[in-house]
Structure formats: C-alpha cells, structure tokens
Amino acid sequence: MEIIEKLEIIDNTSEGLGVAKLKNVTIFVKNTLINDIVDVYVVEKKKNFWIAKVKNFKKYSEFRNNSFDEKLSEVYPFINLNYDKEIQIKKNIIINNFRKNAKITLNDIDILKSERFFNYRNKIELKIDDDFELCYCIENGENKVKIENCPVTNENINEFLPFLKNKLKEYKIKAYDFNTDCGNLKNISIRCNSSSEIILTLVVKAYNKKIEDLVKNLSNYKNLIAGYVSINNKKNSVLISNDIKEIFIKKEFKDNIGKYVFKISPKSFFQVNSYQTENLYNVASDFLGKNKNLTLLDLYCGIGTTTIYFSENFKKVIGVEVVKDSIKDAKQNAKLNSIENVEFVYGKSEEKIEQILKQNNIDIVSVDPPRKGLDKKIIESISKSKIKKIVYISCNSATLARDIKLFQDIGFTIEKIKAVDMFSKTPH
C-alpha cells in the first residue's frame, strides 16, 4: 500500500472530496478539507487521477472547527467546515461548471446564504444495520454510518429516532442486503412539517404482519400522524415504490411555503430546506416578473408548489408532472389555497410540452428538473416555439451549465444568475 506524506489539500470537489496535487497527478482524498495537511494511503489509481484515504492528519486546516465526529463528514462533507469558506467553495464550483460546460466566464456569483445551517432538513432517509441501529448509507450503499442525532435534520425528527430504534429492535426487522437479496427493510423515510408533525414510510421487500404491527405500534408516538409501507420486491433499493399501503393516518400531512399551504403524499417531492425554500421561490418569482396578461408553463411542477407560488403574477399557470400522486396533490393544493388560475397536466414534461405549446399562447417557461437536468426534447420543443423567457431552478450547476449552452445555441442569452444555499454543510 503506497503511503504519501504531508500532502496539502488545495480544494474541495462538488462531491466534497479533498483535492491534492503530486507532480502531475491529481489525488482525491476522502474526509479532508481545503488547507488540511495529511499523510494518506492510495486506494486506487486511475489513468488521470488517484483516490486516497487519510492515514493521519499532520495539520488541520484553519477553516476547520472539528465540532462533529469525523464519521459524519462521510455523509456531510462540510460538517466541520467554516460556513463562509463553504460558500466560497460553492461559488468556485458553480463558476468552474459554467466555464467548462457553458463556456461562460463568471467573475463572481451572488449566493443567498442560509441563516440556519443546522437542523434545517425536513426529511431524512435512513437504513438499519444488522444490530437494528439507524444508519446513513454511503458509497453507493456499500457502507453504513450509525446515526443517533443528525445535526442538519429537524429537531423533531431527531427526537423521534430513539423511539423508532427501540421499536425496530423490539420487532427485529432484518435489514435488506442488496448483495444477497436477503432481509426485508430497505429504507426508512421520515418527513416533518412546521407544526412538528411527522410521517413515516418504510420501504420493504415483502409486506407481512410483523411490518404492519410495527407501524401500527409506532402510531403511539404523539407527533407521528401517518404511517405507510412501500413494497419494492426488486433487487434494488428504490426509496419509495408506487405500491404504497397506508397503515394509519390521524390527519393529512401539510406544510407551508410562505402564505401557501401544501398537502404532501409520501412519494411526492417537497423542498427539504424548511427555511430557504421561500427565499428560493422569491428569487425565481422575481426573475419571472409580473405578467398578469400572460400564461406560464411550469415544468416538473411536483405537488404544485411553484405553480401555485407563481400564480399571482400570471393570468394562468400550467403545471406538468410525471408522478401521479403529485398531480393529485397539486389539484388538491390549488383548492386548498383557493387558486383558480392554475391547470395541472399528468405526464412527462418532454412528452407533453409540444401539445401544450400548440394549444396555448405561452411566452414564459419555468423549469425545476431533477439533478440530471432537462431532457433534450424540451430544449428542441422550445427552439421551435415562441417562448421568449425561461427561468431555470437547478439543484446541479453542472447540468444547468450544460443546458444553458444548449439554450445559447438556439439563440437565448443569460440575463440573471443567482445561487441559494439550500444544502448547508454539504457541497451541493
């Protein structure tokens, strides 16, 4: 095993890995921060880079605070990093992605910092190990990190975890092993709202009486208002499948963004940062502007959060979403908020866009796609349309920059860019 001594970490990647240089070789080092000096052992050599792990720290970075167990940095790479330095690294990641993928040089980018960078997450995804301990899954599921209290997750979820752990031990629900296809419990999804109410979804390989009894027993926890079981019998660890059983429900699960209230189903997407989402939507709403005589097409609309949030500035907003439960929620959310100038279309955005553009006079489009970015069919459809303005909400600046290059190729130009820190203590 090759040992390299006194290696200086000069940067961090968008995955949170430390970056070092040795002659002409780039070395990525796990669980390190910019300006750390470390002895490392090389675990893998690729043609253009090496991967290494820390043997020991020679000198800690001045940007470290080391307030949290180093194990947590495997889940949240910036958990021990000074927040201002975290913001600077994120700026550089965005600027580099725009330079490489969009051929655009940005001297700087404005980032709206989060005032709360701990206990901001309203949702957590966990596994269990062979001892029924709650864990995070890392390295594509190969390793597990035990967790008792998550520093970036809502305090009400953290308070629920010991109760959940004890029940899992009591019922001895075995963890699913992807390699052997044995065991049953694949995933635990917990979501919390601004009223401290919690919903729980267990993803299992097979539904049985023991699983049902466990969830029913969990209903004794005062803040747990609904429990679900999702059955996924395929040899994978899909978080929540379409086959969902409602085990108990005390009341509907709802949460707020600004003045609007939203019903949320177990499978539906909802922004995980309870404190920054309204700020994000305000930025997007400002970019869209007031267009009382125009119709907005809102692609990847989820449960209608953006569609409804933007509706007061448009004559009409049409939301498109591929998840059936989300469309159902979206229609209920429009009624819940007494919004009448919205319409929701079920289906893939790339398959519905041309028909919608033919049937409606649309000048402006908003999009909020998953990390993989936009389907090329959407950009092709926009290139043939009369659309003059696009507002793009992105959670991945690499695919955003790639798509911006494609939009530039069909004649669009960038007017405004702003970043909102939604995932503090991570490189995202």
* pLDDT at residue 237, rounded to an integer: 66
User: Strands, E, within 84-149: which ranges?
Assistant: 111-112, 123-128, 134-138, 143-146
User: What is the pLDDT, as a whole number, of residue 142?
Assistant: 65
The two tokens of residue 105 are 């040089």
Does 365 lie in the same domain as 301? yes
Q: What is the mean pLDDT of residues 247-253?
A: 97
CA dist 357 and 363 (Å) reads 9
Q: CA 328 to CA 315: how far, in whole Å?
A: 22
Separation between Cα atoms, residue 302 and residue 315, nearest integer Å:
20
* Residue 100, both tokens: 């490489």
Instruction: Let me know if residue 188 belongs to a domain.
Output: yes
Cα-Cα-Cα-Cα torsion 149, 73, 179, 174, nearest 10 degrees, comes to: -10
Burial class from Cβ neighbours inside 10 Å (0-12, 13-18, 19+) for residue 384 reads exposed
Least confidently predicted of 118-122, 157-161, 323-327: 323-327
One domain for residues 241 and 297: no
Cβ-contact 98, 408 below 8 angstroms: no
Helix H or strand E encompassing 61? none
Q: How many residues are recorded in the chain? A: 428
Average per-residue pLDDT in the chain?
94
Establish if 110 belongs to a structural domain: no
Q: How many whole angstroms separate alpha carbon 198 and alpha carbon 254? A: 10
Same domain as 386, residue 351: yes
Asked, for residue 354, whether it belongs to a domain, the answer is yes
329 pLDDT more than 90: yes
Domain co-membership, 36 together with 134: no
Q: What is the mean pLDDT of residues 212-241?
A: 91
Same domain, 164 and 251: yes
**CATH number where 235 lies:** 2.40.50.1070
User: What pTM does this model have?
Assistant: 0.93
pLDDT at 236: 75
- Provide the angle, in degrees to the nearest 10, between the axes of the packed helices 209-218 and 155-171: 140
For the stretch 404-417, pLDDT in tens is: 999 999 999 999 99
Distance CA 61, CA 86 (A): 13
pLDDT in tens, 350-384: 999 999 999 999 989 999 999 999 999 999 999 99
In the numeric block, the tokens 């180093």 are attached to 70
Segment 216-222 shows an average pLDDT of: 97
Per the structure, the count of domains in the chain is 3
pLDDT at residue 295 is higher than 80: yes
Are 337 and 392 in the same domain? yes
* CATH number, position 410: 3.40.50.150
Report the SS3 class of residue 312: helix
Sequence-distant (6+) residues with CB within 8 A of 318 are 295, 296, 297, 298, 307, 342, 343, 344, 345, 356, 360, 362
Model confidence over 29-46: pLDDT tens digits?
Answer: 999 999 999 999 999 999
Q: Which domain holds residue 187?
A: 123-257
Crossing angle (nearest 10°) for helices 349-359 and 376-383: 20
Tens of pLDDT, residue by residue over 379-404, are 999 999 999 999 999 999 999 999 99
